[in-house]
């Protein structure tokens, strides 16, 4: 009779402040780490301490003026909270493993230990790229884009879709912005071989695996993500945050643990709060093209250490802390779409968006192809933490980085939008004293200017619509009712280049036309010129073509009554996705 193997579960143990734990902690102000001894968890004999991980400080968030019980929930979106600088207010995370057979005794030991604040799950996380699918599944889901579908269009068409020419005229290209790629690592040589000129700050990068060198990691998922951020933000400074380089026994090179993500986020907090050149106010955009694929990776329902729907989990808390410090954080919605889900979803397509990928203070990104159709593997909402998720869509499944046949999954959609945010931040950087530049305000701006798809307003497939850089490029300030702002709703959804792309079957055949439009990139213009005003007027009179396969029609062309006056309010086209896909059974 075969002997049953007792598997282990990874857990995070949150400890209260003490001199002993502080001496061995990775602190927010960069205090050196000291070796951790097993005595730290001497009252928890059922677990095995990961001494290499050490301890990670998680700061408390306080509300000024509240004397008693001044700690608050960092998940609360009310204004007025601050991050405590006192180490005594912090808690400290350690990582351990517990045999499945001893979980109950371990939990009892933790409850009896006065030094233990809480115990949480440390679930597996993986990149949100597409997985293998059978030919039958791909055929059954046709004509939607599914895993295994050939790429539709190129990164040049994505650049046209998100409005890169318009961004360039406004000098929005990502310069002065840190773009953190939290992934498997970046290979600079590959990016240069694909025509990019990446800027990397090795000193502010972070490696999960000792001996790894920023920018010199194997070509893979992280390199694809970095490439896709550079579509809209080629001048952003990359930070190589190689989270998914796991050394966990039995784990693939594409997997990591959530505890590693907490360490990475503490590092990013130090980056954004650290010293900078006088007068410099660098913004930080954080791209996360990874997440949890199945509920079995987490503690069961009702367990206090559960991650996927628990705002008190340490990682969900540290995400809120980093966002409060000024970082624009983006997460992939996931690849468990109902038509053709990733194999790691195990057929579960109605669970929504897990954990921090649905955090209220992040931008959750779903995926569409360059014909503006939702891809079949894009996870639909609601979110497990915030109900109204995803926030917006980004373009995916195109030929771009050359790492894979297609830059696909919500893994590619997310950096496309992250690059757009980075480009916008180069014109409107984060300033702690100006709430108009806060991540919450920029997230709201991104959703309000998105191109609506699916149901009118918000829906669980498209969120608020497709992120639209053209509308963002028109903003001259972040204040309402500024005379110099051009009304975003007076701009037609299609440029002449996009009209050609939508009329021609096979977007890869329009390279020459796109080269003509790309010539505008090198001609930055500070303000709207008279020629541009005429261009806008012509666009508003243009009849948009109907894309084959969609129900409904585009509204009739609009005209301006007089120069300088706003056009009539825009009538949205009700675009239905019904009939576009075959349901998987």
pLDDT, one tens digit per residue, over 408-427 is 999 999 999 999 999 999 99
Query: Phi/psi at 112 (nearest 5 deg)?
Result: -85, -15
Instruction: Report the DSSP beta bridge partners of residue 364.
Output: 331
CATH number of 8-122: 3.30.70
Question: Is the pLDDT assigned to residue 132 strictly greater than 50?
Answer: no
pLDDT at 516: 43
Matching residue, tokens 């690059």: 419
**Across residues 434-442, what is the average pLDDT?**
92
pLDDT surpassing 90 at residue 269: yes
Helix (H, G, I), strand (E, B) or coil at 16: strand
pTM: 0.72
What tens digit of pLDDT does each residue of 558-569 get? 344 444 433 333
What token pair was written down for 347?
């057929």
Q: Are 157 and 501 in contact (CB under 8 A)?
A: yes
8 A C-beta contact, residue 326 and residue 439: yes
Calculate the average pLDDT of the chain: 77
Kindly state the tokens that stand for 310. 């628990």
- Give residue-wise pLDDT tens across range 358-408: 999 999 999 999 888 999 999 999 999 999 999 999 999 999 999 999 999
Strand 48-49 to strand 199-200: parallel, antiparallel, or no bridges (unpaired)? unpaired
Supply the pLDDT for residue 488: 41
Rounded to whole angstroms, the Cα distance separating 174 from 176 reads 6
Burial class of residue 511 (count of CB atoms within 10 Å of its CB; 0-12, 13-18, 19+): exposed
Residue 50: what pLDDT? 84
What mean pLDDT is predicted for residues 497-503?
47
Q: What CATH number has the domain spanning 127-473?
A: 3.40.50.200
Question: Where does residue 530 fall: left (phi above 0), alpha (psi -120 to 50 degrees), or beta otherwise?
Answer: alpha
Model confidence at 546: pLDDT above 50: no
Give dist(CA 211, CA 196) in Å, integer. 26
Confidence band of 56 (pLDDT split at 50, 70, 90): confident
As to burial, measured by CB atoms within 10 angstroms (0-12 exposed, 13-18 middle, 19+ buried), residue 166 is: buried
Residue where the block lists tokens 């007027």? 537
Strand duo 91-99 + 48-49: pairing: antiparallel
**416-441 burial string, b = 16+ CB within 10 Å, else e?**
bbbbbbbbbbbbbbbeeeeeebbbee
Integer CA distances (angstroms), 471 to 87, 452, 491, in order: 44, 13, 8
Residues 233/422, Cβ–Cβ less than 8 Å = yes
The yes-or-no verdict on residue 280 having pLDDT over 70 is no
* Higher-pLDDT residue of 442, 502: 442
User: DSSP of 340-391, one letter per residue?
Assistant: S--GGGTT--SS-B-GGGG-TTSEEEEEE-TTSPBPTTPPP--BSSSSS---
Residue 494 has pLDDT above 60, yes or no: no
Q: Helix and strand tally (H, E) in the chain?
A: 15, 19
Domain boundaries, the chain: 8-122, 127-473
How far is 124 from 257, CA to CA, in rounded Å?
5
């Amino acid at each position: 009779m075969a002997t049953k193997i007792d598997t282990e579960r990874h857990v995070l143990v949150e400890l209260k402040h003490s001199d002993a734990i502080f001496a061995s902690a990775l602190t927010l102000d960069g205090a050196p780490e000291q070796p951790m001894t097993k005595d730290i968890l001497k009252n928890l004999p059922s677990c095995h301490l990961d001494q290499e991980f050490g301890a990670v400080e998680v700061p408390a968030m306080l509300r000024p003026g509240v004397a008693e019980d001044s700690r608050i929930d960092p998940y609360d979106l009310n204004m007025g909270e601050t991050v405590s600088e006192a180490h005594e207010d912090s808690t400290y995370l350690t990582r351990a493993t517990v045999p499945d057979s001893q979980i109950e005794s371990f939990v009892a030991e933790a409850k009896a230990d006065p030094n233990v604040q809480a115990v949480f799950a440390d679930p597996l996380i993986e990149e949100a790229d597409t997985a293998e699918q059978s030919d039958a599944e791909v055929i059954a889901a046709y004509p939607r884009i599914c895993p295994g579908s050939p790429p539709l269009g190129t990164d040049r068409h994505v650049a046209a879709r998100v409005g890169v020419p318009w961004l360039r005229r406004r000098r929005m290209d990502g310069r002065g912005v840190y773009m953190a790629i939290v992934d498997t690592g970046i290979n600079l040589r590959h990016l240069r071989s694909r025509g990019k000129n990446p800027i990397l700050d090795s000193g502010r990068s972070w490696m999960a695996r000792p001996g790894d060198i920023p920018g010199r990691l194997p070509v893979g998922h992280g390199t694809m993500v970095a490439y896709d951020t550079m579509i809209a933000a080629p001048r952003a400074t990359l930070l190589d945050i190689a989270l998914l380089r796991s050394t966990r026994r039995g784990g693939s090179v594409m997997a990591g643990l959530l505890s590693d993500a907490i360490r990475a986020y503490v590092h990013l907090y130090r980056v954004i709060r650290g010293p900078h050149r006088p007068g410099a106010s660098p913004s930080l955009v954080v791209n996360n093209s990874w997440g949890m694929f199945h509920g079995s990776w987490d503690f069961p329902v009702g367990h206090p250490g559960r991650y996927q729907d628990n705002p008190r989990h340490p990682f969900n808390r540290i995400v809120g802390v980093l966002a409060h410090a000024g970082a624009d954080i983006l997460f992939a919605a996931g690849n468990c779409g109902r038509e053709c889900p990733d194999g790691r979803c195990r057929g579960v397509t109605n669970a929504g968006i897990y954990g921090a990928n649905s955090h209220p203070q992040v931008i959750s990104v779903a995926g569409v192809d360059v014909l503006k159709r939702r891809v079949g593997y894009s996870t639909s909402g609601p979110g497990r933490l915030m109900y109204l998720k995803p926030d917006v869509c980004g373009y995916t499944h195109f030929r771009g980085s050359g790492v894979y046949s297609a830059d696909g999954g919500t893994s590619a959609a997310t950096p496309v939008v992250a690059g757009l945010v980075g480009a916008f931040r180069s014109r409107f950087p984060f300033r702690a004293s100006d709430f108009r530049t806060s991540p919450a305000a920029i997230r709201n701006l991104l959703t309000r200017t998105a191109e609506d798809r699916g149901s009118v307003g918000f829906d669980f497939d498209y969120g608020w619509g497709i992120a639209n850089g053209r509308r963002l490029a028109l903003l001259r300030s972040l204040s309402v009712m500024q005379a110099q702002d051009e009304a975003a709703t007076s701009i037609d959804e299609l440029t002449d280049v996009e009209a050609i792309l939508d009329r021609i079957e096979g977007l890869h055949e329009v390279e020459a036309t796109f080269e003509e439009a790309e010539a505008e990139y090198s001609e930055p213009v500070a303000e709207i010129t008279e020629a541009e005003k005429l261009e806008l007027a012509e666009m508003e009179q243009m009849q948009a073509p109907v894309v084959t396969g969609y129900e409904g029609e585009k509204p009739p062309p609009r005209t301006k009554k007089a120069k300088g006056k706003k056009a009539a309010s825009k009538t949205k086209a009700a675009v239905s996705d019904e009939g576009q896909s075959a349901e998987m059974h």
